[in-house]
Structure 1
Amino acid sequence: MRSVVLLLLGAQLAYAGTHSLKYVYTGVSRGIDFPEFTAVGMVDDGQFMYFDSNSMKAVPKTEWIRQNVGADYWDSQTQGLIGSHQTFKNNIQIAMERFNQSKGVHTVQRMYGCEWDDETGAANGFDQYGYDGEDFLTLDLKELRYISPVQQGFITTQKWNDNKAELENYKQYYSTQCTEWLKKYLQYGKSSLEKTVSPQVSLLQKDPSSPVTCHATGFYPSGVTISWMKNGQDHHEDVDLGELLPNEDGTFQKMSTLRVTPDEWKKNKFSCVVEHQGKTVRETEDEIRTNNGDSVPIGIIVGVVAVAVLLVVIGVAGFVVYQKKKGFKPVSASDDGSNSSART
């Protein structure tokens, strides 16, 4: 089998540029074996705190947050998220009524937070909602008003936009307080967040007639680009790019699948190009790793299984992720006039 060239290209320094603080809330209607409410806090896409309605307790997920905040911090987080849990339970029922639904599994989600560029000082905030995988509400901070792309959200926007005091509070939080917390967290986790770990890259194929997947895993920070080349030229056709997914150790993984016929693969020279920060590594494989032999290392097997498990969980929860400039954009619903949440 012809050799495949894997290129790992360098990028800019890991710690320079744009940083983000994001909170993602997910509420699920009853009927499945999944917490009714979960909350995840992330700095630069790495999880640092977690809460769910089963444990009813906010907990640290990194050593740097565990070592730098005390019990009062976690008590405050827990109390705020218990309140958000109740809000989300109410909002699921309201949203189901709005959409004329009486049964089935439904989800509400919210993502809010801020970004800060440590080179230019530019900062911005974001607050986005949705329902069952579709956009529901977005806070326009320039206009200082909520907007909705669906008729079912108009009542909510009217209620929330009439609350001028609350809008001013949000403006203050997203323009100042959120960024202050982000800078504090970056300082807390400086030694960990500054680290750079290069990805392990492999080409995987179930059998000779199956699509070929370029799998990059174990890298940090999260910024990575996977692309394909055909005979030295950029190739964009028949490519399916997967979502960025977290590993248990705090690193990330991502996949890109190329769907070409065995004959086209044999007659051309395809290469997978993975761009990550810090280093340039060139690796050549004599054959694609398949399920037919013992050539797939255990680390790759575990990584692929982890991806499959996580995708099942994400699918069940209805966790929709949009890879945009502001990071991933989840969805959620809301409309009893309450949009409270823990904001630290």
Structure 2
Amino acid sequence: TVKHSLAYFVTASSGLQTFPEFVAVSMIDGAEMGYCDSDIKTVELRQDWLRTLIKFAPQELEWHVNRCIVTHQLTKAVIEDINLHFNQTGGLHIFQELSGCEWDEETGEVDGYDDFGYDGEDFISFSMKTQTWLYTEQAATYKHKWESGKDGFKDTNFLTNICPQWLKTFLIYGSSSLQRTDLPSVSLLQKTPSSPVSCHATGFYPDKADLFWRKDGEQLHEDVDHGEILPNKDGTFQMRVDLNLSSVRPEDWSRYDCVFQLSGVKNHIVTKLDKDQIRTNWGKTGFRCDGVWKYTAVCSAVIGAVVGLLLLAACISGLFIWRKKNNGEGQTCSQSS
């Protein structure tokens, strides 16, 4: 089955002086499509094909610009209200929303979602199936205030009708870009002689990919650490998977390899675990860091910049630090109509 998605990421903050208090990013099939924030107060287009579309349908750009301004004011009011409700004064607070739709190209099935997070945790979500709000234990006491005054967030018609129509239109105009296939470059990285070896793939598209370690042709599930798929600034993606070699004898290294699989591509990229091919920052092998998107703090020669901490970048750019969509482990929710 082939699924496509149109998503809107919103991050609003209070007490953070170095970034805009409101940032919104629109994504189609995982690729950044548009951007706005409270400083520029307009929408920046991230795809060339969008400029062609806007010439024929300028009202869509107008809608997104207006939505950016309205949502900024709405989220600003919500943060102030939540802070007051929980008796929080000062400090850094972050309110986030992930909304959008998915369309199954083969079955025609459409699904929408609208999820909210506060200070790095699940907070409130809207169930399309039951048409009700779901609250975490933390948000339960805020239920009455939310339902009495924040209906501006819930737009069932947009999620189930307008969003899927736009998604299909965008896929038509951006078909040459959105339906392409790019294979990555794969490298083996290691920070120190005692660190895990990281298999790092960057430059692939779309984001429906898998990366894993094998031993004697069998996929490993122990002594491995899988990183998230992250966007590059050029619209492609990167990911990594670490292998702990502390219990592996040097003579057994040849039994290990890293495999990259891209959806729809039959031929996989296999990289043998070879000490001579590992890029390090204590030896002579150079390393150039490419393609982390707008708000990543640094891109240095130190390999740790690639395989290390990207949380702040993800948070401010609108990627949820509190969860990926449909990953609801650990939630305790109450329901309300």
The TM tier, using the shorter chain, reads 0.7 to 0.9
The one-letter code sitting in structure 1 at the alignment partner of 2:64 is: Q
Cα separation, partners in 2 of 1:325 and 1:89, compared to 1, 3 Å: closer
Deviation at 1:208, TM superposition (A): 2.0
* Larger relative contact order (Cα-Cα within 8 Å, sequence gap ≥ 6): 1
Q: For 1:325 and 1:228, how far apart are their aligned partners in 2?
A: 26
Q: Which runs of 5+ in 1 are unaligned?
A: 1-15, 330-344
Q: Which amino acid aligns with 1:293?
A: G
Quote how far apart the aligned CAs of 1:260 are.
Answer: 2.9
Alignment check: 8 A CA contact 1:27 1:37 kept: yes
C-alpha displacement at 1:127, in angstroms? Answer: 0.5
Q: Is the 8 A contact 2:8 2:99 kept in 1?
A: yes
Which one of the candidate residues 38, 45, 48 is aligned to 2:33? Answer: 48
| Correspondence for 1:87 | 74
What is the rounded CA distance, in whole Å, between the counterparts of 1:302 and 1:218 in structure 2? 18
- Equivalent residues of 2:23, 2:316 under 8 A apart: no
1:127 to 98, 110, 114: 114
Moved more, 44-53 or 226-235: 226-235
In the alignment, structure 1 residue 173 sits paired with structure 2 residue 164: no
How far the C-alpha of 1:35 sits from its partner, in A, is: 0.8
1:272 maps to amino acid: C
Normalised TM-score (structure 1):
0.80
Residue identity opposite 2:228 in structure 1: E
The reply to whether residue 32 of structure 1 matches residue 22 of structure 2 is: no
Match of 1:295 among 282, 285, 301: 285
How many corresponding residue pairs? 311
Q: Of the candidates 94, 103, 113, which is equivalent to residue 100 of structure 2? A: 113
Task: Report the 3-state secondary structure (helix = DSSP H, G, I; strand = E; otherwise coil) of the residue aligned with 1:298.
Answer: coil
Give the drift of 1:49: 0.4
Q: Is 2:61 the partner of 1:74?
A: yes
Q: 1:260 to 1:161 in 2, by over 3 A?
A: farther
Partner residue, 1:322: 323
1:146 aligns to 2:133 (yes or no): yes
2:171 aligned partner: 186
- Distance in 1 separating the partners of 2:308 and 2:271: 26
CA distance in 2, matches of 1:117, 1:161: 34
Aligned in 2, Cα 1:229/1:114: closer, same or farther, shift over 3 Å? Answer: same
> Retained in 2: the 8 A contact 1:148–1:157?
no
In the alignment, structure 1 residue 254 sits paired with structure 2 residue 239: yes
CA distance change for structure 1 residues 270 and 81 in 2, over 3 Å: closer, same or farther? same
Asked if 1:103 is matched to 2:90, the reply is yes
Cα pair distance change 1:309/1:55, threshold 3 Å: farther
Q: Quote the offset at 1:87 in angstroms.
A: 1.2
Aligned ranges for residues 200-219 of structure 1 at < 5 Å? 200-219=185-204
- The letter of the residue matching 1:230 is K
- 2:136 counterpart SS class: coil
Equivalent pair of 1:201/1:217 in contact (CA under 8 Å): yes
Let me know the Cα RMSD of the aligned residues: 3.0
**Of 106-115 and 228-237, the range deviating more from structure 2:** 228-237
TM-score normalized by structure 2?
0.82
Deviations 1:281-320 (A, max 9, x none): 3444642221233434435687964675854323567941
